[in-house]
């Protein structure tokens, strides 16, 4: 949300892109999709717009839906809640959606185990935080490994 310029043979650039880059490179800290407070304020304003025009009603509904796709993470940052109920309800293929979510959960658990085994503390901590998000959304923790397992 904000000013941007479109440069020939390049991408759009402006303060919003710079803020998004900052959030992803400096604040995210683990695999998640952050949403800045400016976008949240923008969506809240549109969700509360009292005008009764067709455009205002459409904007109000879309903004309200977008807000339901967000949640606050454990550190207070706004994130896209791709494991939340609202995303599940948007799926046109619930079985495929559940399979995708389960596969992502297995991947996260495997990557955490791999990085922990390799002694890569930085990436193990990041995947552990991602595991917590999955657990917060009802996915069970990975079974404990014995010291003999690879």
Tell me the per-residue pLDDT of 78-98, one tens digit each, with 9 for 90 and over. 999 999 989 888 888 988 988
What residue ranges of the chain have pLDDT lower than 50? 146-148, 150
CB 20 within 8 A of CB 36: yes
- Would you state the pLDDT for residue 4? 73
pLDDT at 77: 95
pLDDT in the model for residue 148: 47
Which pLDDT value is given to residue 145? 55
Nearest-angstrom CA–CA distance, 69 and 86: 6
pTM for this predicted structure: 0.80
């Amino acid at each position: 949300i904000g000013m941007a310029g479109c440069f020939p043979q390049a991408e759009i650039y402006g303060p919003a892109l710079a803020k998004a880059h900052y959030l992803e490179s400096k604040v995210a800290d683990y695999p998640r999709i952050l949403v800045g407070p400016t976008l949240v304020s923008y969506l809240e304003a549109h969700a509360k717009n009292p005008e009764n025009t067709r455009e205002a009603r459409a904007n109000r509904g879309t903004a309200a839906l977008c807000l339901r796709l967000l949640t606050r993470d454990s550190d207070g940052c706004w994130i896209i809640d791709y494991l939340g109920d609202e995303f599940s309800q948007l799926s046109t293929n619930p079985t495929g959606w559940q399979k995708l979510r389960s596969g992502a959960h297995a991947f996260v658990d495997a990557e955490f185990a791999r990085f922990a085994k390799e002694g890569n503390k930085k990436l193990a901590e990041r995947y552990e935080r991602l595991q917590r998000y999955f657990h917060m959304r009802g996915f069970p923790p990975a079974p404990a490994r014995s010291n003999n397992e690879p």
